[in-house]
Amino acid sequence: MVCLDLEWVLIPEIWEELGNATKIEEFMLTTRDISDYDELMNIRINKLKENNITLSDIQKIVDKTNPLEWAMSFMKWLRSIAQVTILTWSYYEYIMPILSKLDYPCTFANSLKIEDDMIVGYNLREKDWKIEMINRFHDAWYKTIAIGDSFNDVAMLEWATNWILFKPALKLAEQKKWIFPIANNHIELRSILEKLI
């Protein structure tokens, strides 16, 4: 079972796309910058409220966003040799349009709290849910390969049978370069996966 993070691995970072569209710097922050996810989401939600940005506004941006240029062919290849699951900190309420462009891979995400089209909070699947998903795959006798890019993926990577950091933030790469193999592009990623699988 290959478990991939979504943003920065297969698609652009949605909040950065929002930042580019709105010119609001705080939306450019990701878990590559702030490891405390609750702190990051509170910053985002407060900025949405301050600027009266609705869920519909975000969905319009996602509608125009495409997967990374190699993602479709990579996913087709990967699904031909392994089971594939997306484990993402993103939210169902805005990622569905871009998942359609990836041919709807099996995806576990989180959900938003919405009031009058405004994002007012969020619900995680469960505490440490990426670790829990890896453990459930192990309980079902799957070996797992986890692929992620940021600090909030580290626990998932550490619990998997095998792991790969994909184009990680420099700070994370420096911390973990002796532990995780690092792929700096999709060609390197495919090469590592071929050896593991």
**What whole-number distance in Å separates Cα of residue 71 and Cα of residue 190?**
11
The distance from CA 170 to its chain's CA centroid, rounded to whole angstroms, is 17
Spans of all domains in the chain: 2-196
Catalytic pick from 7, 13, 17, 93?
A: 7
From residue 167, give the alpha-carbon distance in Å to each of 6, 87, 104, 177. Answer: 13, 17, 24, 12
Catalytic pick from 5, 13, 17, 93?
A: 5
State the pLDDT at residue 177: 65
Q: Is 153 a catalytic residue?
A: no
Q: Is 158 a catalytic residue?
A: no
Closest residue by Cα to residue 90 from 151, 180, 11: 11
State the pLDDT at residue 33: 83
From residue 118, give the alpha-carbon distance in Å to each of 37, 47, 52. Answer: 20, 11, 8
Amino acid (1-letter code) at residue 32: R
Per-residue pLDDT of the chain (197 residues; tens, 9 = 90+): 999 999 999 999 999 999 999 999 999 998 878 878 899 999 999 999 999 999 999 999 999 999 999 999 999 999 999 999 999 999 999 999 999 999 999 999 999 999 999 999 999 888 888 999 999 999 999 999 999 988 888 889 999 999 999 998 787 778 766 677 899 999 999 999 999 99
**Do residues 3 and 160 lie in contact, with contact meaning Cβ atoms separated by under 8 Å?**
yes
State the pLDDT at residue 154: 86
> Is the full-model pTM beyond 0.75?
yes
Question: In this structure, what token pair is assigned to residue 31?
Answer: 């878990």
Query: Is CATH 3.40.50.880 the classification given to domain 2-196?
Result: no
State the pLDDT at residue 125: 81
